[in-house]
Structure 1
Amino acid sequence: MAIEFKILNTSRIEDIVPLVEKLNNYKIPAHVLKDRVLNMVGQNYECAVIFDADKLIGICGLWFCTRHYAGKSVEVDHVFIDEAYRSQGLGKQFFNWIYNYVKSKGCETVELNTYSTNYASHKFYYNEGFKILGYHFLKKL
Structure 2
Amino acid sequence: MPFEFKILKKEHINEVVPLVEKLNEFKVPASLLKERFSEMINQNYECAVIYDGNKIIGVCGLWYCTRHYSGRSVEPDHVVIDEAYRGQGLGALFFEWIYKYVKEKGFEAVELNTYVSNYQSHKFYFNEGFKILGFHFLKKL
Same fold (TM over 0.5): yes
SS in 1 for 2:111: strand
SS at match of 1:112: coil
Q: How many residues align?
A: 141
SS at match of 2:130: coil
2:120 maps to what in 1? 120
% identical aligned pairs: 70
Shift in alpha-carbon separation, 1:25–1:67, aligned structure 2, 3 A? closer
Instruction: Give the letter for the 2:63 counterpart.
Output: W
RMSD: 1.0
Which runs of no fewer than 5 residues in structure 2 stay unpaired? none
- 1:27 positional shift: 1.0
Per the normalisation by structure 1, the TM-score is 0.98
What are the within-5 Å matches in structure 2 for residues 1-141 of structure 1? 2-25=2-25, 27-141=27-141
The C-alpha deviation readout for 1:2-26, integer Å capped at 9, x for no partner, is 2000000011011111111111057
User: TM-score when scaled to structure 2?
Assistant: 0.98
Instruction: Give structure 1 regions of 4+ aligned residues with deviation exceeding 4 angstroms.
Output: none
Summarize deviations over 1:46-67 as a string: whole Å, max 9, x none.
0000000001000000000000
Query: Unaligned stretches of 5+ in structure 1?
Result: none
